[in-house]
Amino acid sequence: MEYNASKIEKKWQKHWEEQQIYKVSNDSDRPKYYVLDMFPYPSGAGLHVGHPLGYIASDIYSRYKRLKGFNVLHPMGFDAFGLPAEQYALTTGIHPAVSTDQNIARYKEQMRLLGFSFDWSREVKTCDPNYYKWTQWIFTQLFAHYYDQTADKALPISDLVATFEQAGNAKVKAATTQTAQFNAEEWKAMGEAEQRDILMNYRLAYREMGYVNWCEELGTVLANDQVKDGVSERGGYSVVQKAMPQWNLRITAYADRLLYDLETIEWSNALKSMQSNWIGRSTGAQLFFEVDGQDEKIEIYTTRPDTIFGATYMVLAPEHELVAKLTTAEQQKDIDDYLAYSQARSEIDRMSDKQVTGAFTGAYAINPFTDKKIPIWIAEYVLISYGTGAIMAVPSDDERDQRFAENFGLEIIPVVDKSDYPEATLDDKVGKLINSGFLNGMEVKEAILAMNEKVEEMGIGKAKVNYKLRDAGFSRQRYWGEPFPIVYDENGFAKTLPLEDLPLELPKTEDFKPGKGGKSPLSRLEDWVNLGNGSTRETDTMPAVAGSSWYYLRYMDSSNPNAFASPEAVNYWQDVDLYVGGAEHAVAHLMYARFWHKFLYDRDLVPTKEPFKKLVNQGMIQGRSNFVYRANEQFAEKSFKEKLEKYQYSFQTEYPIAGGYVDFAMPEHQLAIEIKSGSDLKRYLEQRKPDYDREGWKLLLISTQEVGKYYFNFDIIAKRINRAIEGTVDNSHLEEAYAHPLFISQDVVRKRNWEASTTALHVDVNIVHNDVLDMEAFQNWRPDYKNAYFVTNKEGKYLCGHAVEKMSKSKYNVVNPDLMVEEYGADVFRMYEMFLGPIEASKPWDTQGINGVSKFMRRFWDLFFTNEQFVVSEDAPNKAELKVLHATIKKVSEDIERFSFNTCVSAFMEATNDLRKMKCNKRSILEPLTILLAPFAPYTTEELWHLLGNESSVHHATYPSYEESYLKEDEIEYPISINGKKRATAMFPSDASKQELEQAALEVEGIQKWLEGKTVRKIIVVPKRMVNVVVG
C-alpha cells in the first residue's frame, strides 16, 4: 500500500473528533502537566509557516507527556480583541465581531489540518462576554485593593479606610503617589470627594490625569512598548504627549517581586535580562537642594551621592513644574526660546540627534556640602519621566554632564581619583574620593554608604530605590476592547460594577470610528452611556493585554459561570509547566501576566507566585524577500559595494517586485511552483501566462548572481534553457521571458562549476506588479545588501537581491502551510519544521529540504510493507535490531526532554535507515517505534498502529522504555592517537582493562610506524572512549 497522507489524515481527523481523544479531565489520578502556547491574534492573513513552529513543538511535548502517563492540559484560544480588526473594519465596513469570527474559523481549520492535540472544549476567546466578564471582574478587584508594603501584598481598600479612620496615613507604608500626611481627625473631616481622591492614589487600578502617548491617526493612546522610535509601532504614525484622564494599573507596586521572582523560574537569560532591564531597578539617594533666595526645594535622584562635592550645577527637565517659578526676568527670553525649541522637537528628533542644548534659568541652588551657589539650567537631556525630572550635575564624573559643562563653560571639580584603575571609564563606580571633605580617601562604594548616612542624618534626603518601570496606562479610546466595568455617579465618583452586573457587554454598533480629540466611539452611544440620575459609564475600553494577562487560568475551567475558574480546578492545575511562544511578547505580555498572577496570589485565588514555570521562545521562521531595482547610468563602472553604500537612494523604481523564491506563495495567487528545468518552465509559462496577461501581471524570471561577480551574461542562461528543452518543446513562449531580466538561482550559480553543469536549472520565477511597491516600501524592507548584486540585460542594469527577514504578508515572502500540508502531508510538514534547526533559533524557510523528510516518512511506512502488502513478522528480534530500537528510545526521549526536536528527527531517520538495511519488519521492533514516533507524526502512526491490529489510539499507548543491556557492545571501536592526533582506529573488547588497552594499542597496525625511533612516554586510556599515546 502506498503512503497516502491526505487519505490517512482525513480518516483520523474525523475519528479523533468523534472519539474526543484529546479531551482532558480535571479529575485524574495521573500527575498533571500543563503545556501552553501563546494564543494567537487571529489576523486576516491566516497562519503562515512561521506560526505553527511553536505549536508543533508544544504539541510534540504534550503528546510525549501524555504517553508518559501525565494528565496533560494543552488548550488553545484566541486573543481576539485589538486594533487590527478595528482598522480592518474601518476600511471595509465589516464589523470586528464578524471578521474576528471568520479569522478564528480559518485559524481553527488550519490548526485542525496540522493535527494538534488541543482540547477544543476549553477554547477561550477574549472577546467573548463569558470570558471578559472575568477580565472585568479582575479589574474591579484591582480597583478595590492597594499594595501594602509592610505586609508585602495587596490588601483591600476597606482595610486602608479603617486604618485612616483610626490613625491617618502616617504609619501606612504603601505603593502610592500620596505624599501629604493626615491624621484620623483630618481624614474624617474630609468630604467624600477628597477621600475618594486620596484613595485613588492607593488603588492598584486608578484613574489619573497623565501624559499619554497619543496617536491622532490611530485615534488612541498607545502603551510605551507600542511606540518605537517616536512613532507608532503599527503604521508608523507620529505620537505626541497629551494630557488625558487615564486608567492605570499600579504595576510598579510589584516591581521588586517581578524582579526577584525571575530567579525562581526557568526562562532564558535573554528573556530574564529583558525583563529586568525593563524593570530597571537602581539604588541611589533622594536629595533636596535648597534654591537660593527662594522657599523652594529641588528634589533629585542620584545613584552617585558620593560625588555631590563635584555637583557644580543643576539641570531640570524642560517640563519640570519649577521652571516657571525659578526663571528670572533677565533669563525669561532664553528660557522661553528653549522651551519653544524643545517642544517643537519630536521624540524622533531627540533620539536621532543628541545635541548638547540647554538654557540657564537665572536661579541658583545651594550645594548642601560645599555651600556654594550653583546655577540651575534646563536641558532636554534630563527626562521628566525618569527619577524626579531633575538632577545634580557632576561634570567630572558623568559623561553627559561633562559634555554639557564643557559646552556652556561651567565649573568642573574632579572628585574621584581613578589613577588606580587605568582601564576604568568615567561611569565606572571605582576610585578614591578627592576634594570631597569628609569623604576624602574613601573608595567610591564606601563613600556612597557614608554619604547616604550623612544625608539622612542631615535630613536632606535618604537612600532610595528607583525603577524604570512605569505604571501601565490602561485606557484606550477604541471600540474593539473590553468596556471598563465603571460607572461615574452624579458626583463624578468612579464606582465599579458588582459581579452580578458583569459582564458589561460591549454594545453593538456599526459606528466604531475613533472620535475626535480622544473621545472613545462608545461615548457616542448615548443610551448606553447615560444611565439616568446623572450617572454615566466609562467610555474607554481596555487594551489588548487585559485579556491575555490571565487567559491561561481560564483554560483550567473555561466554562465556569461562577468564577474565573473554580478553586478546585486552579488547585489541580496550579500553573503552566511549559509555556511556548515568540520573543515579541518578552516584555509586555509576560510582565502584565506575571503582575496579575501575583495580585491573584495575594488574594489567595491562585496557589503559585509565578504563572509560567518554564518558558521556551521559539525562533522566527523568516522569509526571503526579493527585490529588483533599475540602476541609474552612473552605476555602470565603479565597484559594487562602494556604489551600494553611496548611491543606495538614487535607484529608480523601475521593477519593484513582489514575491520571493518561486516556491514562495505569491500574493493573491498563492502559487507554489518550483521550476527546475526548461520543460517545467515551458509548462509553467503555458499554464500561467493567460492569467498574468488577464490580471496585468508581468512575468519576470529572476534569480541571484554570485556576489562579487555581478556582471551577468544573459546568453548563457538562454542557452542552458534551450539545451534543457532541446528538441522536446516549442520554446516560443520563452521569448516572452527573455524580454525581461532573467537570472539563475544563487544556489546554482554559486556552485564552482556552473559552466560545466549539465543538470537541471533552478529558475526562480517572480511576478511583477507595477502597483505593488514603491521606493518607500523598498527602503522599509531594509534589505541585507550583502546579498545584493547587479545584473544587466539589453534593457539596462538592475540591482537585485534578497533579504532574509520576518515573514509578513506585506513583504510578499509568506509561505502558506496549507499548500505544504496538501503536497506532503501534515506529519511531514510537522517533522520538517522541527528538523529545520533548534526550536529557539531563527532560520529562513527553505522549502527544498522538505523532500528529505518526505522520503524518510515513506521509508518508515515501507518498513511495514512487502510488495504493497502489510506484513509484519512475529519473529523474535535479534541483537542488532534491539540495539537500534533501544538506542532510538533513549535518544528520542532524552532529546524531547531537552527540547531538541531536530535531533529527534535525525534519530528517527537513522533508525529507519538502519532497519531498512537490516530488512527488519518485526512487530517487536516496529510497534514500539510507532509509539515513539506518534508525537511527531500523529496521523501516520495512528494508521500503522491500527494496521498492527490495535483497537485503541496510539496516542493512548504507553511510552516504551529502554533497556541499557541492549545498548552494550562486545567490541568498541577505539580511536588511537599519537600526541593527541588520531592516527588509527581499532576494535577492542568492551571489557578490556586499561593495561590490556595500552598494550593492544601499541600493536595496532598503522600505529607502529609512528612509534619508530620515538620513546613512548605515557599512554592515556579512557575506557570505552579513546587511547592517546604520548611519544617524544
Partner RNA sequence: GCGGGUGUGGUGGAAUUGGUAGACACGCUAGACUUAGGAUCUAGUGCCGCGAGGCGUGGGGGUUCGAGUCCCUCCACCCGCACCA
> Is the CB of 117 or the CB of 388 nearer to RNA?
388
CA torsion 459→464→469→471, rounded to 10°?
Answer: -40
Distance CA(62)–CA(72), nearest Å, equals 6
Q: Rounded to the nearest whole angstrom, what is the least distance from the CB of residue 28 to RNA in the complex?
A: 30
For position 628 contacting RNA by CB under 7 A, the verdict is no
For position 422 contacting RNA by CB under 7 A, the verdict is no
Choice from 241, 560, 632, 906 touching RNA (CB under 7 A): 906
Choice from 364, 552, 977, 1007 touching RNA (CB under 7 A): 977
Distance CA(155)–CA(202), nearest Å, equals 11
For position 990 contacting RNA by CB under 7 A, the verdict is no
Helix/strand/coil for 55: helix
> Is the CB of 196 or the CB of 858 nearer to RNA?
858
For position 797 contacting RNA by CB under 7 A, the verdict is no
- Please report, as a single letter, which amino acid is at residue 362: G
For position 846 contacting RNA by CB under 7 A, the verdict is yes
Distance CA(394)–CA(309), nearest Å, equals 8
Span 307-326, contacts to RNA by CB under 7 A: 317
Q: Rounded to the nearest whole angstrom, what is the least distance from the CB of residue 404 to RNA in the complex?
A: 8
Distance CA(597)–CA(610), nearest Å, equals 7
Binding window for RNA (CB under 7 A); candidates: 543-551, 594-602, 636-644, 891-899: 891-899
The phi and psi torsions of 617 (rounded to 5 degrees) equal -95, 110
Choice from 21, 45, 97, 274 touching RNA (CB under 7 A): 274
For position 654 contacting RNA by CB under 7 A, the verdict is no
Binding window for RNA (CB under 7 A); candidates: 264-272, 597-605, 639-647, 947-955: 264-272
Distance CA(929)–CA(764), nearest Å, equals 40
Helix/strand/coil for 503: coil
For position 1020 contacting RNA by CB under 7 A, the verdict is yes
Q: Rounded to the nearest whole angstrom, what is the least distance from the CB of residue 680 to RNA in the complex?
A: 4
For position 1015 contacting RNA by CB under 7 A, the verdict is no
Cell numbers describing residue 184:
484620623
> Is the CB of 249 or the CB of 911 nearer to RNA?
911
Strands 432-433, 416-417: pairing kind: antiparallel
> Is the CB of 244 or the CB of 587 nearer to RNA?
587
> Is the CB of 274 or the CB of 463 nearer to RNA?
274
The phi and psi torsions of 475 (rounded to 5 degrees) equal -100, 135
For position 391 contacting RNA by CB under 7 A, the verdict is yes
How many residues of this chain bind RNA (CB under 7 A)? 102
For position 683 contacting RNA by CB under 7 A, the verdict is yes
Choice from 495, 519, 524, 859 touching RNA (CB under 7 A): 859
For position 816 contacting RNA by CB under 7 A, the verdict is no
For position 677 contacting RNA by CB under 7 A, the verdict is yes
Binding window for RNA (CB under 7 A); candidates: 486-494, 538-546, 646-654, 676-684: 676-684
Tell me the C-alpha to C-alpha distance, in Å, between residue 336 and each of 379, 409, 460. 12, 21, 31
Q: Which residues contact 61 (CB under 8 A, 6 or more apart)?
A: 35, 578, 896, 899, 935
For position 830 contacting RNA by CB under 7 A, the verdict is no
For position 600 contacting RNA by CB under 7 A, the verdict is no
Binding window for RNA (CB under 7 A); candidates: 296-304, 565-573, 922-930, 954-962: 296-304
Q: Rounded to the nearest whole angstrom, what is the least distance from the CB of residue 487 to RNA in the complex?
A: 36
Span 331-390, contacts to RNA by CB under 7 A: 350-351, 354-355, 380-389
> Is the CB of 8 or the CB of 749 nearer to RNA?
749
> Is the CB of 304 or the CB of 886 nearer to RNA?
304
**Contact track, RNA, 752-791, x by CB under 7 A:** -x---xxxx-x-----------------------------
CB atoms within 10 A of CB 1019: 18
For position 905 contacting RNA by CB under 7 A, the verdict is yes
Choice from 725, 742, 767, 836 touching RNA (CB under 7 A): 836
Distance CA(1001)–CA(977), nearest Å, equals 9
Q: Rounded to the nearest whole angstrom, what is the least distance from the CB of residue 614 to RNA in the complex?
A: 17
User: Which residues, listed in sequence order, are joined to residue 982 by a DSSP beta bridge?
Assistant: 977
Choice from 216, 256, 296, 894 touching RNA (CB under 7 A): 894
Q: Rounded to the nearest whole angstrom, what is the least distance from the CB of residue 1014 to RNA in the complex?
A: 13
For position 609 contacting RNA by CB under 7 A, the verdict is no
CA atoms within 13 Å, Cβ hemisphere of 805: 20
For position 688 contacting RNA by CB under 7 A, the verdict is no
CA atoms within 13 Å, Cβ hemisphere of 74: 24
For position 396 contacting RNA by CB under 7 A, the verdict is no
Q: Which is it for the CA torsion 808, 810, 813, 819, positive or negative?
A: positive
Binding window for RNA (CB under 7 A); candidates: 100-108, 437-445, 937-945, 1019-1027: 1019-1027
Q: What is the DSSP letter of 59?
A: H
Q: Rounded to the nearest whole angstrom, what is the least distance from the CB of residue 109 to RNA in the complex?
A: 25
Span 955-974, contacts to RNA by CB under 7 A: 973
CB atoms within 10 A of CB 867: 5
> Is the CB of 98 or the CB of 1016 nearer to RNA?
1016
For position 36 contacting RNA by CB under 7 A, the verdict is no
For position 499 contacting RNA by CB under 7 A, the verdict is no
Quickly list DSSP for 69-104: T-EEE----B---SHHHHHHHHHH---HHHHHHHHH
> Is the CB of 281 or the CB of 809 nearer to RNA?
281
Cell numbers describing residue 729:
518543446
Q: Rounded to the nearest whole angstrom, what is the least distance from the CB of residue 451 to RNA in the complex?
A: 12
Q: Which residues contact 565 (CB under 8 A, 6 or more apart)?
A: 553, 554, 556, 557, 558
Choice from 492, 498, 849, 989 touching RNA (CB under 7 A): 849
CA torsion 810→815→817→822, rounded to 10°?
Answer: 130
> Is the CB of 216 or the CB of 349 nearer to RNA?
349
> Is the CB of 562 or the CB of 869 nearer to RNA?
869
Binding window for RNA (CB under 7 A); candidates: 443-451, 813-821, 834-842, 867-875: 834-842
Binding window for RNA (CB under 7 A); candidates: 290-298, 300-308, 514-522, 945-953: 300-308
Distance CA(993)–CA(765), nearest Å, equals 64
Distance CA(18)–CA(1027), nearest Å, equals 60
Span 215-234, contacts to RNA by CB under 7 A: 224-225
User: Which residues, listed in sequence order, are joined to residue 283 by a DSSP beta bridge?
Assistant: 465
Strands 32-37, 576-582: pairing kind: parallel
Span 73-92, contacts to RNA by CB under 7 A: none
Binding window for RNA (CB under 7 A); candidates: 28-36, 447-455, 600-608, 847-855: 847-855
Choice from 147, 267, 856, 899 touching RNA (CB under 7 A): 856
Q: Rounded to the nearest whole angstrom, what is the least distance from the CB of residue 1020 to RNA in the complex?
A: 4
For position 491 contacting RNA by CB under 7 A, the verdict is no
Quickly list DSSP for 292-350: TTSS-EEEEEES-GGGGGG--EEEE-TT-TTHHHH--TTTHHHHHHHHHHHHHS-HHHH
Distance CA(341)–CA(346), nearest Å, equals 10
For position 575 contacting RNA by CB under 7 A, the verdict is no
Q: In b/e form, how buried is each residue of 481-518, taking b as 16+ CB within 10 angstroms?
A: bbbbbbbbeeeeebebbebeebbbebeeeeebebbeeb
Distance CA(319)–CA(304), nearest Å, equals 24
